[in-house]
Structure 1
Amino acid sequence: MKDKIIHVLCEGQTEQGFVEEVLRPYLKEQGVKSVKGILITTNKKKNAHGGMLSYNHAVTDIGLLRQTKKDDEYARHIFTTMFDLYALPNDFPGYAVAQRIGNPYARVNSLETDFAKDINDERFIPYIQLHEFESLLFCGIAHIARYYPGCDKRCKQLEKALLDAGGNPELINNGPSTAPSKRIIKAIEGDKKTHYNYNKPVTGKNVTKQIGVETLRAECRHFNEWIEKLINS
């Protein structure tokens, strides 16, 4: 059996931190040899990384990863992504068609299918997070409140948002001011931003670490499907 090495192209530092400190140890427990989080390149000349602005950024980096992984004949290399559906660049394959699909799960599956067709590599497993990484933090709102002492009352807003979404963190997304990350920032910083300054990458990896991947899988259907594919590929 070949040793499996998984390369995860990440949209930002938050996703990269999660991959390296939360997902990696979990997948290694499942028998994966290595998991590598790679931050997407947005401007090679300026050595700028993170904050995907166009589909071309993804295609370029995935192409480079695929070309350079011939170092271990006993390893099976898998390539995947961790991008947000929220604010996904509109030049992604199938974007216009997906926008006309009402069901969020059907919409993201349509995008991932067209993404995979465009890359055209059996080793590639596309993943687009419903609706953004911070959806996962809604699996453990109590951990957010403990991480930022004094925010308990404002975190009640997060509990209400989760309840309004039928208890499904992956369905929390209502727009630029009410997407998961925007809701969390408001709960932590307050309306006048006189409280904490929200540290997105650090909070993301530390809170999801407390929640645990098994809980994330149990409460987030699309996320769980991705993990299943990575383990069973």
Structure 2
Amino acid sequence: MITVGVLCEGQTEETMIREFLGPELEPEGIFLVPTILLTSSTAGGPSGRGGVSKWSRIEKDLRNRLSSTPHWAAVTTLLDYYGLPSDSPGMADRPAGPPRQRVEHVERRIAERIDHPRFVPYLVMHETEAWVFAAAEHLAEWYEDDALGAELKRQTDEAGGPELVNETPDKAPSKRLRRLLPEYNKRLDGPVAVTELGLRALRAACPHFDAWISGLLALR
């Protein structure tokens, strides 16, 4: 069994680790330890938890975790590409290519900036709600709403896959879900639907996510 720390953007991502990814990877010999990114609500004020405001806070948190946990096999991230601070490495010079190419460019630049052998960067395309689009059928079953599942599948097919659902402010996965389902609870409904879908199916639907999981499995 190896331990991998996961720096999460907020409570939704932490829940995804605790309720979904952790139980899925533990039988494979990987124990995931999620921690939420520390932020500061005001200068000199008390620390807050969750959200990404600027790159310097992410970098500080990553370096602290890497230096304080030499017994961990790796430290990785579960951060939304959609909401990543504009001053993050690689954001200013992203190539004008497909979404995955742009995300992987930023991940490489972040890895170069941290420059640590135990660091494994991962940015969700474009946020964890994209995983819920992959689990559309299960979310529809949870809400007993077949029409919801059909519409989520239609939008997924139109985009070309769950990870390609648009990142723009009005078309991001989370915004689409809230319009279709105002009562959607991202900390409850999302993890339930994705857990029902299962790791194997999510990897098949989300190639960038699959590459991250493959990299974690290779650490064993």
TM-score by length of 1: 0.88
Whether the aligned pair in 2 keeps the contact of 1:155 and 1:187 (CA below 8 Å) is: no
Which residue matches 2:37?
A: 40
The question of whether the paired residues in 1 share the 8 Å contact of 2:66 and 2:118 is answered with no
Match of residue 146 from structure 2: 152
Out of 28, 31, 36, the residue aligned to residue 30 of structure 1 is: 28
> Which residue does 1:222 correspond to in 2?
208
Map 1:47-86 → 2, pairs under 5 A: 47-70=47-70, 75-86=71-82
Partners of 1:36 and 1:231 lie apart in 2 by: 15
Please tell me whether the aligned partners of residues 145 and 152 of structure 1 are also in contact (alpha carbons under 8 angstroms).
yes
1:95-153 alpha-carbon deviations (Å, 9 max, x no partner)? 1111x42211110110000000000101000000111111111112111112223x432
SS in 2 for 1:21: helix
Q: Distance in 1 between matches of 2:120 and 2:103?
A: 13
Aligned residues: 216
Report the RMSD for the aligned CA atoms in angstroms. 1.5
Structure 1: tracts of 5 or more residues without a match:
190-196
* Letter of the 1:181 counterpart: S
Q: Is the 1:172–1:179 contact (alpha carbons within 8 Å) kept by the matching residues of 2?
A: yes
> Which consecutive segments of 4 or more residues in structure 1 shift more than 3 A?
none
- TM-score normalised to the size of structure 2? 0.92
Alignment equivalent of 1:177, drawn from 157, 170, 173: 170
Identity value in percent? 34
Q: Please, which of 137, 142, 145 is the counterpart of residue 137 of structure 2?
A: 142
TM-superposed deviation, 1:164: 0.5
Q: Provide the rounded CA distance (Å) in 2 between the counterparts of 1:141 and 1:132.
A: 15
Structure 2 gap segments, 5+ residues each: none
Secondary structure in structure 2 of the residue aligned to 1:83: strand
Match of residue 98 from structure 2: 103
| Structure 2 partner of 1:193 | none
Q: Residue 174 and residue 22 in structure 1: after superposition, are their counterparts in 2 closer, same or farther (change >3 A)?
A: closer
* DSSP 3-state at the match of 1:97: coil
